[in-house]
Amino acid sequence: MSKCEQLQYDFIVVGSGIAGLWTAVHLADGGKVALLTKDDLQQGSTAYAQGGIAVALSDEDDPELHLRDTLEAGAGLCDVPAAEILAFEGPEAVRELIEHGAQFDMENGEYAFGREAAHSQRRIIHAQGDATGAEIERALAAAARERNNIDIFEKTQAAHILTVDGHCVGIQAHDFAAGKPVFFVAKATALATGGLGCLYRVTTNPPVVTGDGIALAYRAGATLKDIEFVQFHPTALAAPGFPKFLMSEALRGDGAQLLNHDGEPFMQRHHKMGNLAPRDEVARAVMQEMKAAHQPFVYLDLQPIGKRRLEKRFPTIVAECRGRGFAVPDQPVPVSPAAHYFMGGVDTDIDCMSSMPGLFAVGECGCISVHGANRLASNSLLEALVFGRRCAVAMANAEALSAATIAEIARREPQAVPVGSGFYHDLRDIMWDNMGAVRSGATLRNALQHVAHLSARVSESEEPTPDEMEAANALLLAGLMAKAALSRRESRGAHYRVEHQGVSEQMRQHTLVRIGDNGEPEIDYRPVELQRHR
């Protein structure tokens, strides 16, 4: 393979959701930014976010209460300093987002706060009823395009992390528009590639969410953390379609009720908070009711919200349901769980710095341990805002690359890219059947066996396709996730083991996964940070 084009920047951001865009916008005043996205700029999970942003902005709320709710939902696995930063820096970050043009719904001159599961207060701000993510994506994409210091590279997929002496110095990417590899070189690189929901057959995530940045970081030698923790949203519309259409948790915050096949409310039997219980509890309760009735769904009754309130507050959901033939709110809609959010990711500190110098990870791609074992509803968009800004500050302080380092990269030839083909759908079935909301040692070992069989067919290519790159990344992560889940012998938050029910104080630690000297994964543990900084 011959040498390829080398592009020099101050900063590289991989991914164009809220985390990537917000980080890039904050970097633009400090140097030239290359923003890479494997699809179009506005393709990603952000636009699918319905519920809103959880933030303590109302007079009745307080960051201390938000912190308490976050820690309780996280089931003992949140790092307290990170959760503190989220709750206390959140209001300022949201105000800054508003200054960048994001418009949120108002009532009587005040923000219209909604409530979602496991929140003690009404603190969810939203846009256009249930189109919060789309509004944020619109505002930030416009802000990124307006800045001369940000160069946007669409259809450009990260293939390898470039390193010199253990330091990240950029990205080898594949430009699919031009059909060639490109070296992007910079003093600091941020991965903002999102989660891995599309490793599962049933998911609310768009097709691009395949864990690419997390796989790249692992191959380069960075540490991953808590990758066994996947949140399953309890109420995806049980109707044909991919990704599954999400029935926002905010519906239950406004009074909607889950019903079994006999038309009876059931959540109060499963949890003291009823329909507003934490997501992992609701998802497992729904699955129990489905199993008891031998049915593939339960029902969500929207009548308690009222027709006028429903149409005003949730116009996107109403239009989707009616377009599919459901006469809401008069008719309950069928719902079932779906893979939704990844609590693990690249291990980072509170400034989004990974274990590899020069490499950062922000948003769902990174794991700051703010969500613990179970994310509190609507904390994800806030995390991207709060820590995207901190990430940009830390990246701006990185040391410039030496002339010798730049020259060394210029002498290199691009590496071939891991690829897989023809078995992505098999993998998604394996993960759904064996690594879902309810797990056991037997299902996890079964997942490992099947993933190992499929992984034996992964090869390398100098001319990869996007699907082939995604398949190889997905297979790598699936095997690592199953190993991490098998090693955690307890049930905590979203990780539920039928033979190890209940939490273990000994396992109140973060799972760390890194590549060993022999090329095989090594698993270690690190205690949760419990000391408050404020």
pLDDT on residue 132: 84
Give which of 315, 365, 398 is closest to 38, Cα–Cα.
Answer: 365
pLDDT on residue 250: 87
Cβ atoms of 234 and 374 within 8 Å: the answer is no
Domain boundary among 277, 311, 339: 339
For residue 5, the cross-strand partners are 182
Q: Any long-range contacts for 499-502 (C-beta under 8 Å, 24+ apart)?
A: 499/440, 499/441
> What is the three-state SS of 111-172?
ECCECCCCCCCCCEECCCCCCHHHHHHHHHHHHHHHCCCEEEECCEEEEEEEEECCEEEEEE
pLDDT at residue 534 tops 60: yes
Give which of 24, 51, 50, 48 is closest to 37, Cα–Cα.
Answer: 24
- Both 335 and 347 in a single domain? no
Radius of gyration of the chain (CA): 22
Q: What confidence category does residue 48 fall into, taking pLDDT thresholds of 50, 70 and 90?
A: low
pLDDT on residue 50: 63
d(CA 266, CA 250): 18
**H or E segment and range at residue 191:** strand 188-191
438: domain CATH number is 1.20.58.100
pLDDT at residue 475 tops 60: yes
pLDDT on residue 3: 73
- 293 phi, psi to nearest 5 deg: -95, -5
d(CA 112, CA 123): 9
pLDDT digits (tens, 9 = 90+) for 405-433: 999 999 999 999 999 987 778 999 999 99
pLDDT on residue 133: 82
Cβ atoms of 90 and 381 within 8 Å: the answer is no
Domain boundary among 292, 321, 339: 339
pLDDT on residue 241: 83
111: domain CATH number is 3.50.50.60
Instruction: Let me know if residue 534 belongs to a domain.
Output: no
End-to-end CA distance of the chain: 54
Residue 444 half-sphere exposure, CB side, CA atoms within 13 Å? 21
3-state DSSP assignment of residue 488: coil
3-state DSSP assignment of residue 495: strand
> Which candidate in 115, 138, 201, 279 is catalytic?
279
pLDDT at residue 295 tops 60: yes
Instruction: Let me know if residue 511 belongs to a domain.
Output: yes
pLDDT on residue 2: 58
CA distances from 90 to 194, 240, 403 (A): 20, 37, 39
Mean pLDDT value of segment 244-262: 93
pLDDT on residue 278: 86
- Both 347 and 213 in a single domain? yes
pLDDT on residue 7: 97
- Both 180 and 52 in a single domain? yes
Q: What confidence category does residue 279 fall into, taking pLDDT thresholds of 50, 70 and 90?
A: confident
311: domain CATH number is 3.90.700.10
pLDDT digits (tens, 9 = 90+) for 56-114: 999 999 999 999 999 999 999 999 999 999 999 999 999 999 999 899 999 888 899 98
- Both 239 and 199 in a single domain? no
Instruction: Let me know if residue 533 belongs to a domain.
Output: no
For residue 240, count CB atoms less than 10 angstroms from its CB and return exposed for 0-12, middle for 13-18, buried for 19 or more.
exposed
Q: What single-letter amino acid sits at 344?
A: G
**For this structure, is 390 an active site residue?**
no
pLDDT on residue 4: 84
CA distances from 377 to 85, 234, 253, 278, 457 (A): 17, 12, 11, 8, 39
pLDDT on residue 422: 72
Cβ atoms of 198 and 428 within 8 Å: the answer is yes
Sign (positive or negative) of CA dihedral 141, 146, 149, 155:
positive
* DSSP classification of residue 47: G
User: Whole domain around residue 501: which residue ranges?
Assistant: 417-526
Instruction: Let me know if residue 286 belongs to a domain.
Output: yes
pLDDT on residue 44: 59
Looking at every residue in the chain, the average pLDDT score rounds to 94
- 151 phi, psi to nearest 5 deg: -100, 125
pLDDT at residue 154 tops 60: yes
The pTM of the whole model exceeds 0.75? yes
Give which of 234, 247, 347 is closest to 288, Cα–Cα.
Answer: 234
In the chain, what percentage of residues exceed pLDDT 70? 98
Q: What total number of domains does the chain contain?
A: 3
Residue 233 half-sphere exposure, CB side, CA atoms within 13 Å? 31
For residue 511, the cross-strand partners are 525
Cβ atoms of 425 and 385 within 8 Å: the answer is no
pLDDT digits (tens, 9 = 90+) for 364-395: 999 999 999 999 989 999 999 999 999 999 99
Q: What confidence category does residue 121 fall into, taking pLDDT thresholds of 50, 70 and 90?
A: very high
- Both 311 and 244 in a single domain? yes
Instruction: Let me know if residue 439 belongs to a domain.
Output: yes
pLDDT on residue 45: 58
pLDDT digits (tens, 9 = 90+) for 441-458: 999 999 999 999 999 999
- Both 319 and 356 in a single domain? no
pLDDT on residue 128: 82
pLDDT on residue 524: 98
Q: What confidence category does residue 264 fall into, taking pLDDT thresholds of 50, 70 and 90?
A: very high
- Both 105 and 214 in a single domain? yes
d(CA 118, CA 277): 6
Query: ∠ CA(297), CA(303), CA(306), 5° rounding?
Result: 145
